[in-house]
Amino acid sequence: MASSPSRRALLRAAALVAATPVMSTIPVGRAAAQTGAAAAAAAVAAGLPAPTAWAVRPFELEDVKLGQGVFAGKRQLMLDHGRGYDVNRLLQVFRANAGLSTGGAVAPGGWEGLDGEANGNLRGHYTGHFLTMLSQAYASTGDQAYADKIRTMIGALTDVRAALRTAPRMLAVTGKWGGAHENVRGSYQYVDLPAAVLGGAAAITLSVWVKPTHNANWQRVFDFGNNATRYMYLAGRNANGAPRFAITTSGPGGEQGLNGTAALPLNQWSHLAVTISGSTGTLYVNGSAVAQNTSMTLNPAALGTLTNNWLGRSNFSTDPVFAGAFDEFNVYSRALTAAEITSLQTNEAKNSSAGLGNLASYYFSATTGGTFADASGRGLTATLRRTWGGPSHPGFLAAYPETQFIDLESRTTADYTKVWAPYYTAHKILKGLLDAYLATDDDRALDLASGMCDWMYSRLSKLPDSTLQRMWGIFSSGEFGGIVETIVDLHSITGKAEHLALAKLFDLDKLIDACAANTDTLDGLHANQHIPIFTGYVRLYDATGETRYLTAAKNFWGMVIPHRMFGIGGTSTAEFWKARGLVAGTISDTSAETCCAYNLLKLSRMLFFHDQDPKYMDYYERGLYNQVLGSKQDKADAEKPLVTYFIGLTPGHVRDYTPKQGTTCCEGTGMESATKYQDSVYFTKADNSALYVNLYSPSTLTWSAKGVTVTQTTDYPREQGSTLTISGGSATFELKLRVPSWATGGFRVTVNGSAVSGTPNPGSYFTVSRNWQSGDTVRVTIPFRLRVEKALDDPSLQTLFYGPVNLVGRNSSTSHLQVGLYKNAALSGDLLPSLTPVSGKPLHYTLNGTEFAPFYEGTEDRTHAYVRRAEPKVVFGNTDSGVANPAKSDGTTLLDEIWAGAPFANKGALVSRVQSTVNSWVSAGLLSQADGQKVVTTAQNATYVP
């Protein structure tokens, strides 16, 4: 045990007193968390009530080590991915936004780049996920490689924020003749020239060296104008990809132009020149005249004095900013001759026959500032600027301009191509920074995180409540993810009153009030926009004591589970919810967005801290052992994390592990899930008097507070039980073993080989209390049974479970498989005897030629998560009665009603159930007397497994 508490321990301690006034004056910095922890200890020592917000608490990741098993195998794939990935690729968009060198790094693509969906309006989110993944990997393994990557990223983000805080500065690169200035793509930078740059000249030459780095059309090399009506520009690429010069006083329809014939090569220097004299305009590319117009009536003098004289920016706001480098921009008050332009190809302007431009001349020689001297003698200093100005607050940090945040404040309709969840992205970055601080004690990460919250508060606190309510209610644009949870966590460290106030500014009152009143309004809502909101509201309850937050979260959970839950634990269709109770009616190729499962697990876990209802951990096991595990492909990949976005539940669906180029929100949460599989295996009661064993997973817990180690040895779920061994010392505590709700086949516990008395009930915790000694061994046996779960809105559509494991059929058919399971059902009610085990493959079975395998196996097989239950004949113990299996109007069949009475103590009990059920159905006119007798006789003559 370390001599000083970890950051996470300090956070936990500080969080328990987050609402106490003493926290509000704690300064930000390395001492802040320590002061917060000291305040917590002082508060308790002074006799104030001990914190009661969390009745149980989790252990830190470093306290629980995973043993070999299905989780460790999946985790290793992600650890290897994270260890080998070049984080400079993730930092590329941040550095570009700040006008810093990207070092040639290539962004991952997809949502995390400039060219992805909606122009990459979520860029930066994936970087936050990656920071969290690295932080969890470091906490879990102690591998310094992860800490090194974290520090690299934090250092880079610190540089980015510093660059954003100041006016843009020249990015010097090697030019055609020496130094040059580069506009990194994504920097939104341009060079602003003084109004007098054209000098009212009627004849003119504009000459420039450019090295374009991107092939977007309509990037302006220069644009001199007032607006989109009066201007003169040179674009590196027109609609056909070739250079174009145009001049107009009446907008695009009045343009007089010159068009090149070929595209400029990327990443190579090209010389462009335009001359106008009289009625003739000529466009030169690399010394050759490629276009000429002898009927021009416009020249710069006709434009007058212009307000927007720009290099790299267009007067049309939707045009892209020029991406590439500039060298030697010269403006002459005459038309250079062809020979003079040829001379410029092999000489600096000052050494050419043309000489320096007499109206303006910029070398772009290296400077540490953001201004460029004019060598023409006219003193027309140029200034480097951003199209969006600069941040509204020094704490701003993002991979794109603040414009998305500004636009959201007046937006009334969703348009993700313009504003796509900026506060969601801010949350991911903030969460990554906080996790990085907790993992590495790097104060820079805390400073960045605190600054982000200061900036958000400076924006949002100025808005009226009606504006905030509108913003948070807009689909996608107003999505803010789990930002409230992270802000409250940060507040427990900083103690800044503004940070807690900021968290409350994200209250979506319409939703909170409806859920607090247990009024289900989820139909039509964007699922993952709203699930993580509630983890934040639970934390706000912790910090403020306002019960409506906790009540709303509990009721919300109950609206989703089970009423909108698929068997694997997922929810949503095409990211949205439909009416309560619709399950079969929402199955599609876009079912069960993986982020939804990730966030439902977090919410379930957090609610359990307040209310130890086993249903929360029952759900946690379902979602973790099925959708979350199954969302990770069982394959190594250096480039992609290989995690699903949607889990298609249609028949024969093939899981897509690289959706949208592999950088969606779900890949992000998938990376996080795979590095924290152990976070809920064990909890401790707040006073350390009890240890909750929530999941049966090979793992080792170091319980420092008790001075003991608990080692869980198991191959669960391939093993139907687990062994826990106490070592390191002696301690008195209650061992609370979760009895899964599906464990109807018995739950047996022995300590040192002796059975423990008591009746474990499915869906509860079984408690063993004693003074534990080193060497004590607890054996838990949990027999599995095959069962089905029926879709709420279509009982004939069912999914198979063996213990905690969802079994899916592997079959190329795109229609629902017809499956019968009663033919050899056991007296216990176990349906497994109707399936045939596959030798050498645990948890694999065949039925009617189809293999059924665990959903958690991350394969690319065509699978059937739901099957159509078909029991056409009444069969017992593989003996066919010859009688058709009748059904009631609600779809319940005779066999359904018979087997609903399982488990049966013996064959006689089953036959008795058959007789009473047959009598009821005959009396109701649903079965003939003769067929009823055949059914009873068959049941009497059949042979059953126990």
Asked if the model's pLDDT at residue 721 lies above 50, the reply is: yes
**What are the Cα distances from residue 379, in Å, to 195, 358, 466, 481?**
12, 11, 51, 51
Report how many helices (DSSP H) and strands (DSSP E) the chain contains, helices first: 24, 39
**Do residues 553 and 607 make contact, with C-beta atoms less than 8 angstroms apart?**
yes
DSSP labels, 4-44: S--HHHHHHHHHTTTTSGGGGGPPSSHHHHHHHHHHHHHHH
* The predicted structure's pLDDT at residue 52: 67
Asked if the model's pLDDT at residue 20 lies above 50, the reply is: no
Q: At CB < 8 A and 24+ separation, what contacts does 439-442 make?
A: 439/7, 439/134, 439/135, 439/136, 439/138, 439/139, 439/147, 439/150, 440/135, 440/138, 440/147, 440/150, 440/151, 440/154, 441/7, 441/30, 442/150, 442/151, 442/154
Residues 290-334: tens digit of each pLDDT: 999 999 999 999 999 999 999 999 999 999 999 999 999 999 999
Mean pLDDT (whole number) for 396-400? 98
Residues 5-15: tens digit of each pLDDT: 444 444 444 44
652: left (phi over 0), alpha (psi -120 to 50) or beta: left
Least confident of 50-54, 393-397, 398-402, 805-809: 50-54
What CATH architecture does domain 189-386 belong to?
A: Sandwich (2.60)
Sheet containing 708-713: which strands, arranged edge to edge?
64-66, 699-703, 708-713, 721-727, 777-781, 748-751, 754-755
* Three-class SS state of 195: helix
Mean pLDDT (whole number) for 389-416? 97
d(C-alpha 833, C-alpha 228), whole Å: 76
Asked if the model's pLDDT at residue 254 lies above 50, the reply is: yes
* The predicted structure's pLDDT at residue 53: 87
DSSP labels, 722-777: EEEEEESS-EEEEEEEEE-TT-TT--EEEETTEEPPS-PPSSEEEEEEEEE-TT-E
Q: How many residues does the chain have?
A: 946
Mean pLDDT (whole number) for 515-542? 97
Query: What does DSSP assign to residue 654?
Result: -
**What are the Cα distances from residue 739, in Å, to 29, 558, 679, 696, 946?**
45, 21, 19, 10, 22
Question: What values do phi and psi take at 800, rounded to 5?
Answer: -100, 140
**Do residues 670 and 631 make contact, with C-beta atoms less than 8 angstroms apart?**
yes
Q: How many CA atoms lie within 13 A of 413 on its CB side?
A: 2
* Three-class SS state of 382: strand
d(C-alpha 917, C-alpha 912), whole Å: 9
- Using a pLDDT cut of 90, give the percent of the chain over it: 92
Domain ranges of the chain: 1-52, 85-171+390-487, 189-386, 877-946
Residues 110-131: tens digit of each pLDDT: 999 988 899 899 999 999 999 9
Maximum separation of any 2 CA atoms in the chain, in Å: 114
Q: Where are the beta strands (DSSP E) in 555-619?
A: none
Asked if the model's pLDDT at residue 454 lies above 50, the reply is: yes
Mean pLDDT (whole number) for 725-729? 97
User: Where do we find the tokens 């493959």?
Assistant: 841
* Three-class SS state of 453: helix
Asked if the model's pLDDT at residue 23 lies above 80, the reply is: no
Sheet containing 308-311: which strands, arranged edge to edge?
256-259, 244-248, 231-235, 220-225, 308-311, 189-192, 382-386, 371-372
User: Where do we find the tokens 């966590």?
Assistant: 489
Q: What is the CA radius of gyration of the chain?
A: 34
* The predicted structure's pLDDT at residue 368: 82
Mean pLDDT (whole number) for 625-649? 97
Asked if the model's pLDDT at residue 49 lies above 70, the reply is: no
User: Where do we find the tokens 């509108």?
Assistant: 470
